[in-house]
């Protein structure tokens, strides 16, 4: 027993300084950072460290999280300057003794690390994120929509989007153009346009063919770089442009 | 006009302008740079109709491409219906004004009015 506790002591001897951005838009005029010394293990994630702070130091730190396994997309934030999922980022892989966590860029802040997702959900909803066709499997004698593995290959990568908003947070156009549709919605537009079961290609292309639509993308590629699910919105946008310019049908 | 149509024009004018400007530079390389800028040489260029037509085309292509580029930059700078309308019509008016002024110079010189 004594041996076990000494191993535990040895393991928890490592610690980092966690700098958490604190901002309440109702009271504060600018963001401030609070520093906490947090013990960590090889497998400790940034989210666990933040929850540790909430448990032992300051319960008022506002953070949004849910699944803790990079599936729900709730805990997106800027970690050491880069948009990442806190539950998917291990402290040990950051290779730094100081870890700074801030709310995502290009999103209005609710408080501390929690941001508003209205714009992301609005733009996502705008591109009709569902199969659009006249017939449905509910009609008599209709069967499931058959699809070959090759047809599935066309869009499956883009179907992995978890709506975490990291791509929108990294997008430079989102920072300056408040009406820009954004990489998340554009990648989802491609996901449905490329789906062989979908018949709403023309209406979707019309929606994004706007003065603040697909053409405002500068192809910085930062959206693809930060995506934790490998969706590659930048590629989706370029493939969509192929449809717009008549290179793809 | 749909944004995709505008952007097709944008890309098309860029490609065409690159080709014509390359021809223009090659033509200028037939003589020394200083000689090329001589007043009489410039007038002679304008009076040579095929070359004058090419210069007019370059003027149109670069104006269309340039002012659409400016429109895009200004649209990203700030948003709002009134602002966007002003930017779009402003750029269109400036484009026509520049083309008209440049064409006037080419036509007047070509007709021997200068």
pLDDT (tens digit per residue) in A57-78? 999 999 999 999 999 999 999 9
Q: What is the mean pLDDT of residues B87-105?
A: 96
Contact criterion met (CB below 8 Å) for A169 and A106:
yes
**Residues of chain B positioned with their CB less than 8 A from the CB of A179:** 79
Is residue A75 within 8 Å of A86, Cβ to Cβ? Answer: yes
The fold for domain A15-115 equals: Ubiquitin-like (UB roll) (3.10.20)
Instruction: For residue B9, give the H/E element and its range.
Output: helix B3-28
Task: Identify the domain containing residue B40 by its residue range.
Answer: 3-111
Residues of chain A with Cβ-Cβ distance to B80 below 8 Å are none
Local confidence band at B20 (pLDDT 50, 70, 90 cut-offs): very high
- CB-CB under 8 Å, B4 with A245: yes
Provide the angle, in degrees to the nearest 10, between the axes of the packed helices B81-110 and B49-77. Answer: 170
In total, how many domains does chain B have? Answer: 1
- Fold equal for A15-115 and A117-134+145-245: no
Contact A215 B7 (CB under 8 A): yes
Non-local CB neighbours of A214 within 8 Å, separated by 6+ positions: A181, A186, A189, A208, A237, A240, A241, A244
What span, in angstroms and rounded, lies between the C-alpha atoms of A189 and A249? Answer: 15
Q: pLDDT tens string for chain A (249 positions)?
A: 334 334 445 455 799 999 999 999 999 999 999 999 999 999 999 999 999 999 999 999 999 999 999 999 999 999 999 999 999 999 999 999 999 999 999 999 999 999 999 999 999 999 999 998 877 666 677 677 889 999 999 999 999 999 999 999 999 999 999 999 999 999 999 999 999 999 999 999 999 999 999 999 999 999 999 999 999 999 999 999 999 998 888
- Percentage of chain A surpassing pLDDT 90? 86
Domain boundaries, chain A: 15-115, 117-134+145-245
Q: Enter the pTM of the model.
A: 0.87
In chain A, where does DSSP find H-type helix? 2-11, 46-56, 91-94, 118-126, 149-153, 166-170, 172-176, 183-193, 201-208, 222-226, 233-245
B20 has a chain A CB within 8 A of its CB: no
CA distance A194 to chain B (A): 19
Predicted pLDDT at A1: 34
Q: Does B82 touch chain A if contact means CB atoms closer than 8 Å? A: no
Quote the percentage of chain B above a pLDDT of 70.
100
pLDDT digits 0-9 by tens, B29-62: 888 888 888 888 888 988 999 999 999 999 999 9
Query: CATH code at B44?
Result: 1.20.1300.10
Predicted confidence at residue B65, as pLDDT, reads: 98
Helix or strand (DSSP H, E) at A83: strand A82-85
Q: Which fold has domain A117-134+145-245?
A: Fumarate Reductase Iron-sulfur Protein; Chain B, domain 2 (1.10.1060)
Q: Tell me the CB-side half-sphere exposure of residue B17, using CA atoms within 13 A.
A: 15
pLDDT digits (tens, 9 = 90+) for B2-11: 999 999 999 9
Residues B43 and A245: their CA atoms lie apart, in Å, by 41
10 Å Cβ neighbour count for B88?
A: 17
How far apart are alpha carbons A25 and A23 in whole angstroms?
Answer: 6
The CA R_g of chain B, rounded to the nearest whole Å, is 17
- A216 to B72: CB separation less than 8 angstroms, yes or no: yes
Residue B95 has pLDDT above 90, yes or no: yes
Nearest to A217 by CA among A167, A182, A178: A182
DSSP string, B49-85: HHHHHHHHHHHHHHHHHHHHHHHHHHHHH---HHHHH
Q: Which of B11, B72, B79 sits opposite A179 (nearest CB)?
A: B79
* Burial grade of A230 (CB within 10 A; 0-12, 13-18, 19 or more): exposed
What pLDDT score was predicted for residue A214?
96
């Amino acid at each position: 027993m004594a041996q076990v506790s000494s191993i535990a002591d040895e393991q928890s001897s490592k610690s980092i300084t966690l700098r958490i951005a604190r901002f309440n838009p109702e009271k504060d005029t600018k963001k401030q950072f609070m520093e906490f010394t947090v013990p960590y293990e090889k497998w400790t994630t940034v989210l666990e460290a933040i929850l540790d702070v909430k448990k032992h130091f300051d319960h008022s730190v506002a953070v949004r999280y849910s699944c803790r396994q990079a599936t729900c997309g709730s805990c997106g934030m800027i970690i050491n300057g880069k948009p990442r999922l806190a539950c998917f980022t291990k402290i040990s892989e950051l290779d730094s003794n100081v870890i700074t966590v801030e709310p995502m860029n290009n999103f209005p802040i609710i408080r501390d690390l929690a941001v508003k997702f209205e714009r992301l959900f609005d733009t996502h909803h705008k591109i009709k994120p569902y199969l659009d066709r006249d017939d449905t499997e509910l009609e008599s004698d209709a069967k499931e929509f058959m699809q070959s593995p090759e047809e599935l290959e066309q869009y499956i990568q883009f179907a992995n989007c978890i709506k975490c908003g990291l791509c929108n947070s990294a997008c430079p156009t989102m920072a300056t153009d408040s009406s820009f549709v954004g990489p998340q919605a554009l990648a989802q537009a491609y996901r449905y346009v490329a789906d062989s079961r979908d018949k709403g290609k023309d209406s979707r292309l019309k929606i994004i063919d706007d003065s603040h639509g697909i053409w405002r993308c500068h192809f910085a590629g930062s959206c693809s770089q930060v995506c934790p699910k490998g969706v590659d919105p930048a590629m989706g946008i370029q493939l969509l442009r192929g449809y717009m310019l008549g290179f793809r049908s | 006009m749909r944004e995709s149509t505008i952007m097709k024009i944008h890309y098309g004018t860029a490609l065409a302008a690159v080709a014509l400007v390359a021809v223009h530079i090659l033509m200028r390389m037939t003589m020394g740079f200083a000689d090329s800028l001589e007043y009489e040489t410039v007038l002679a260029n304008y009076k040579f109709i095929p070359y004058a037509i090419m210069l007019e085309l370059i003027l149109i292509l670069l104006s269309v491409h340039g002012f659409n580029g400016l429109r895009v930059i200004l649209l990203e700078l700030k948003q709002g219906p009134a602002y966007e309308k002003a930017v779009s019509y402003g750029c269109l008016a400036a484009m026509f004004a520049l083309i008209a002024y440049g064409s006037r110079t080419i036509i007047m010189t070509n007709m021997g009015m200068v």
